[in-house]
Structure 1
Amino acid sequence: MNTNLTRILPIVMLLSLSSCAVNAPVVGSGKVSYGDSNAVETVNTDFGSTDLNMVASQMATALITSGKINQCKTYTVSKVRNKTDQYIDTENITQSIVNNLSNSAQVKSQYVLSSQEMQSQVDELDRQNQSGLYDQGSTAKLGKMQGAQCRLDGYVSNITKDNGQVKDVFYVFNMKLIDVQQGTQLWSNEKQIRKDMTK
């Protein structure tokens, strides 16, 4: 009987240890909870998630409502420029505007890749056409991409005032729609945000 126990004991221990290796959630030392991504965020005066959502949504809505985007057969959106005195991930603002425009049933224009997105497209065309791995009858052909008739440009800037007791930050977000060939401005809009913090 000791022999059977000697054989079974390592198996039982192995099974016990392997059951401890279940993928349990990782828990940190602080209290963490999920928040509403659409809730107003007022942690400080920095440009935050509320500002990003508001600016992207309101700019896209204003452009759609104007009807000017549909004067363009194709359009692209340049990366929003950051002219503030703080770090802002303007790529998120840019992508949110693209998403709002692309997902609107009112926009009939076709979005084409921006210059920042173009490299992965060029790489894919090269892979299909120059690697020799693909049936040439099934590959995407070079020289067939659509150019953008219009380009949406934008920037965010700020003015900061601080007297030691109150910090006031005034953000200005500007966008304009430009006809690429003619160089004419078809539409422009501005969104202002003021944030105050008492110290």
Structure 2
Amino acid sequence: MKKSVLTLLAASLLLGGCAQTIDSVNSHLPETPSVNFGSNDLDNTASDLTTKMLSSPAVSSITAGGKHPIVIVDNIQNNASGHVDTKSLTNTIKSKISRSGKFNLVDKSRVDAVRKQMNFSENDRFVNQGTAIQFAKMTGAQYMLYGHVSNTSKSEDGKNVPFYKMTMRLMDTNSGSIEWADSGLAPKSESDSQGW
């Protein structure tokens, strides 16, 4: 009897010791995939395009005399194959504009209220320029910055190499005219290119 109690006690100590080792592992943290979707390159492209816009002659004219026009930054659209973190791209653009001090950004609560009033969800896209202008005006914006990411490729060493192409446009909401437009390229990583 004493032998079985000692055996049981030894087994529980052994198993208890194993459990402590397992507990020391960060098993409570969720696993996140380490797949690189080229987001750093795209964030850099978004930042570079925003810098180009802010230093463009069009924006210099718009902001002349210390004016700080109101701009709404629409969510960047993903027209590319595969995942693109468009929320991060949009936030990069908004942060850069905000830090520049050249424009006043429309408050998110105002944007949400107008979306609700027009029965738009955050993911709805404007069907035409007229709807986009109406939406921007209802938020009080004088300008709307919008853009998208698409697939493209360019020839390097005789091979077609896949890239992301990011295009951005700044539109005057009164006239509907495009005051500034530009695009930039970001390389796709191998994991991005598999479905391309």
Same fold (TM over 0.5): yes
Q: 1:158 maps to what in 2?
A: 151
SS in 2 for 1:87: coil
Correspondent of 2:43 among 38, 46, 53: 53
CA contact (8 A) 1:83 1:155 kept: yes
User: Structure 2 vs 1, CA of residues 78 and 27 (structure 1 numbering), >3 Å: closer, same or farther?
Assistant: same
Which residue identity is paired with 2:46? Answer: A
**Stretch deviating more after TM superposition (96-105 or 166-175):** 166-175
CA contact (8 A) 1:150 1:178 kept: yes
CA contact (8 A) 2:53 2:59 kept: yes
Distance 1:146 1:194 in 2: 35
SS in 2 for 1:181: coil
User: Structure 2 vs 1, CA of residues 154 and 174 (structure 1 numbering), >3 Å: closer, same or farther?
Assistant: same
Q: Does 1:171 align with 2:143?
A: no
Distance 2:185 2:84 in 1: 16
Which residue identity is paired with 1:176? Answer: R
Distance 1:153 1:172 in 2: 14
Q: How many residues align?
A: 137
Which residue identity is paired with 1:157? Answer: S
Q: Does 1:81 align with 2:77?
A: yes
1:194, CA displacement in angstroms? 3.1
User: Structure 2 vs 1, CA of residues 25 and 90 (structure 1 numbering), >3 Å: closer, same or farther?
Assistant: farther
Distance 1:68 1:25 in 2: 58
Q: 2:122 maps to what in 1?
A: none
Distance 1:155 1:94 in 2: 10
1:64, CA displacement in angstroms? 1.1
For normalisation by structure 1, the TM-score amounts to: 0.55
Q: 1:66 maps to what in 2?
A: 56
| Higher helix content, 1 or 2 | 2
Bigger relative contact order, structure 1 or 2 (CA pairs below 8 A, ≥6 apart) = 2
User: Structure 2 vs 1, CA of residues 182 and 193 (structure 1 numbering), >3 Å: closer, same or farther?
Assistant: same
Distance 1:26 1:146 in 2: 50
1:96, CA displacement in angstroms? 1.0
Which residues of 2 match residues 88-107 of structure 1 at below 5 A?
Answer: 88-105=84-101, 107=102
User: Structure 2 vs 1, CA of residues 120 and 176 (structure 1 numbering), >3 Å: closer, same or farther?
Assistant: closer
CA contact (8 A) 2:38 2:189 kept: no
CA contact (8 A) 1:176 1:187 kept: yes
For structure 1, the 5+ residue unaligned runs are 1-23, 33-40, 124-144
Q: 1:137 maps to what in 2?
A: none
Q: Percent identity?
A: 27
For normalisation by structure 2, the TM-score amounts to: 0.56
1:121, CA displacement in angstroms? 10
SS in 2 for 1:57: helix
For residues 102-143 of structure 1, what are the alpha-carbon distances to aligned partners after superposition, in whole Å with 9 as ceiling and x for unaligned?
Answer: 0124x1x211136994239989xxxxxxxxxxxxxxxxxxxx
For structure 2, the 5+ residue unaligned runs are 1-22, 64-68, 118-137
